[in-house]
């Protein structure tokens, strides 16, 4: 039971990182980024290609791949998303959805649909004795790193001027501009940062999950449920819901395997019936 | 200081402003009076650059601001307080105050430091760690006014600052507006309370169906108070 819950926390770490990126992007841009799963997949493939073709190891890929993807994200925002933003939200919805399909198929054409192997970094190859049970060291590392990253984002959002501007612009973009802040200038880095977070989760996933072109689209549906459960645009809610959903689905997988795929959506429906704006969403924001 | 020339605005097919032209001079307090839907809020939103579907020219401090985005207008000295005060719920009182970039670099007037704000509004100091929306309506209005002053605004656009507030608080808001005026800040104010309007303002414009139909001074407003109240349906 405890071990299952721990499995859930590790799985939840990926949900939390992905949901965090989606939430800041949705909050600041009002864009539902359907390409988020594709960026996660690119993160995993990026580290695979770096290792396979150039022998660049995990520890270099972990910062490098997210930075490259983040920069690509800022270019994407500048060239396309910004231009579509003033139109109906459906345009960015279609654009990011189409982009996800294109990225997926490009990778599929090059590498096929079978999973590529990615070894665990040797320093994290063993197991750690956690007292009640022993656990693979790499999984413990993943959990620790994502908790640190989520906490760091939280500190930046709540304790810095940048965070204050992001919070204000998320709540009322127009009024924030009327107070003299150039909101558009902050949108690009926020989008890039969200994409980088997805890439970061992808690099972390490579050694423990199947690296294949569909890994992102398999996961992202659940992540959308996580964001809705946490409350659209609520950063804290997304992270909390990410870990909670991880635990619920791991326990569900163990005790009622037949429901493992649907459990998250049952949870989402229940939360929405109880709180229509999600756990940490604000009613007036919707 | 502010010159509006032939300003029209639309919401889709519906026209909200029809060729509005008016002028506000430095140091004045000018009110916009009119029924709901007369176009008062739309006019302020156009002045701040928040309403896109508009035509006409807006000159402020001798420069054409018509094509500028809201943040550029704010930096030129336009300040906007929306009718719901626009206090950020996810920001504390102090963060609400420190959010705007303080004053414009070319401005040598004494800026509204946090200390000066707290001296003027002691309640805000007591509550500075509270989330902005946990304040009472009157306190939120004080916060909204203090915040817009910190932007270094030379002209305040206030959308019904007294709406829904008790008479005592309304009096305080009046005192603040007079103090703001004494400090050399100009105010363009939407106000339904014509008696209050006559006690704080210098001139009044009556809007109806998107047009300025009459311009009045204080004596005229007071002499015709009953008629105006009836017209406004209050």
Please name the residue of chain B whose CA is at the shortest distance from the CA of residue A158. B91
- Strand ranges, E, within A120-212: 127-129, 134-136
Interface of B with A in 20-79 (CB under 8 A): 48-50, 69-71, 73-75
Q: Is residue A228 part of a domain?
A: yes
Whether residue A122 is contained in a domain is answered as no
Interface check B102 vs A, CB under 8 A: no
Name the CATH topology of B2-232: Rossmann fold (3.40.50)
CB contact under 8 A, A172 and B86: yes
Query: Is B200 within 8 Å of B174 (Cβ atoms)?
Result: yes
Residue A67 lies in a domain: yes
Domain assignment of residue A177, yes or no: yes
Q: What is the dihedral of CA B177, B180, B182, B188, to 10 degrees?
A: -70
Q: Where are the domains of chain B?
A: 2-232
Q: Which of A283, A229, A217, A244 is nearest to A5 (CA)?
A: A244
Contact A164 B98 (CB under 8 A): yes
Please indicate if any CB of chain B lies within 8 Å of the CB of A170. Answer: yes
Rounded Cα distance, A213 and B183, in Å: 64
Among B42, B49, B70, pick the best mutation site for testing chain A contact (most A Cβ within 10 A).
Answer: B70
User: What ipTM was assigned to the predicted interfaces of this complex?
Assistant: 0.89
pLDDT in tens, A86-139: 888 888 889 999 999 999 999 988 888 888 888 888 888 788 887 778 888 888
Size of interface A-B (CB pairs under 8 A): 58
Cα gap A90→B23, rounded to integer Å: 42
How would you write the pLDDT of chain A (286 residues) with one tens digit per residue?
Answer: 778 888 888 888 899 999 999 988 888 888 888 899 999 999 999 999 998 889 888 899 899 999 999 999 999 999 998 888 888 888 888 999 999 999 999 998 888 888 888 888 888 878 888 777 888 888 889 999 999 999 999 999 889 999 999 989 888 888 999 999 998 889 999 999 999 999 999 999 988 888 888 888 888 888 988 988 888 778 888 888 888 888 888 888 888 888 777 888 888 888 888 888 777 776 544 3
Q: Which of A165, A168, A178 is facing B70, going by the closest CB pair?
A: A178
Containing domain of residue A269, as a range?
2-117+128-285
CB of A266 less than 8 A from some CB of B? no
Spatial contact of B72 and B149, defined as CB atoms under 8 Å apart? no
Q: Which residues of A touch B82 (CB under 8 A)?
A: 175
Task: In whole angstroms, give the CA distance from residue B157 to residue B174.
Answer: 15
CATH number for the domain that contains residue A29 = 1.10.3470
Number of domains in chain A: 1
The two tokens of residue B129 are 């760690």
Is B71 close to A183, i.e. CB distance below 8 A? yes
Residue of A nearest to B92 (CA): A164
* Integer angstrom CA distances of residue A153 from A149, A244, B97: 6, 19, 23
CA distances from B107 to A88, B75, B77, B103 (A): 40, 10, 10, 7
Inform me whether the C-beta atom of residue A156 falls under 8 Å from chain B C-beta atoms: no
């Amino acid at each position: 039971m405890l071990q299952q819950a721990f499995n859930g926390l590790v799985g939840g770490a990926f949900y939390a990182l992905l949901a965090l990126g989606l939430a800041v992007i949705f909050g600041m841009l009002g864009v539902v980024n359907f390409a988020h799963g594709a960026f996660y997949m690119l993160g995993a493939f990026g580290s695979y290609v770096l290792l396979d073709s150039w022998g660049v190891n995990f520890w270099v890929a972990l910062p490098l791949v997210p930075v490259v993807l983040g920069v690509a994200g800022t270019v994407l925002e500048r060239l396309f998303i910004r231009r579509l933003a003033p139109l109906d939200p459906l345009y960015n919805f279609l654009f990011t959805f189409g982009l996800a399909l294109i990225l997926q198929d490009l990778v599929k054409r090059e590498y096929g649909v079978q999973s590529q192997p990615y070894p665990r970094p040797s320093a994290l190859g063993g197991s750690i004795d956690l007292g009640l049970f022993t656990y693979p060291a790499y999984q413990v590392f993943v959990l620790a790193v994502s908790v640190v990253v989520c906490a760091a984002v939280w500190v930046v959002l709540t304790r810095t001027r940048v965070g204050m501007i992001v919070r204000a612009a998320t709540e009322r973009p127009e009024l924030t501009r009327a107070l003299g802040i150039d909101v558009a200038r902050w949108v690009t880095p926020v989008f890039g940062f969200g994409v980088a977070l997805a890439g970061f989760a992808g690099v972390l996933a490579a050694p423990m999950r199947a690296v294949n072109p569909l890994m992102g689209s398999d996961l992202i549906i659940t992540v959308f449920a996580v964001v809705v459960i946490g409350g659209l645009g609520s950063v804290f809610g997304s992270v909390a819901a990410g870990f909670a959903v991880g635990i619920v689905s791991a326990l569900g997988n163990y005790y009622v395997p037949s429901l493992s795929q649907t459990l998250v959506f049952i949870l989402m429906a229940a939360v929405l019936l109880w709180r229509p704006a999600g756990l940490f969403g604000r009613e007036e924001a919707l | 200081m502010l010159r509006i020339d032939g300003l029209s605005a639309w919401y889709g097919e519906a026209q909200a402003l029809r060729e509005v032209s008016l002028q506000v001079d430095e140091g004045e307090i000018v009110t916009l009076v009119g029924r709901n839907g007369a176009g008062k809020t739309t006019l302020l939103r156009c002045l701040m650059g928040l309403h896109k579907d508009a035509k006409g020219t807006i000159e402020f401090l001798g420069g054409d601001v018509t094509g500028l985005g809201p943040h550029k207008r704010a930096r030129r000295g336009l300040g906007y307080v929306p009718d719901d005060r626009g206090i950020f719920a996810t920001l504390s009182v102090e963060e609400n105050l420190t959010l705007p970039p303080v004053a414009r670099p070319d401005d040598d007037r004494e800026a509204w430091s946090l200390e000066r704000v707290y001296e003027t509004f002691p309640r805000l100091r007591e509550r500075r760690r509270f989330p902005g929306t946990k304040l009472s309506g009157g306190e939120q209005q004080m916060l909204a006014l203090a915040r817009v002053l910190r932007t270094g605004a030379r002209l305040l656009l206030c959308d019904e600052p007294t709406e829904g507030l008790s008479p005592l608080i309304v009096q305080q808001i009046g005192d603040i507006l007079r103090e703001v005026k004494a400090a050399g800040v100009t105010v363009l104010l939407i106000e339904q309370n014509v008696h209050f309007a006559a006690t704080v303002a210098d001139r009044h414009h009556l809007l109806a169906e998107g047009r300025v139909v009459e311009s009045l001074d204080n004596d005229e407003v007071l002499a015709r108070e009953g008629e105006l109240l009836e017209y406004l349906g209050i």
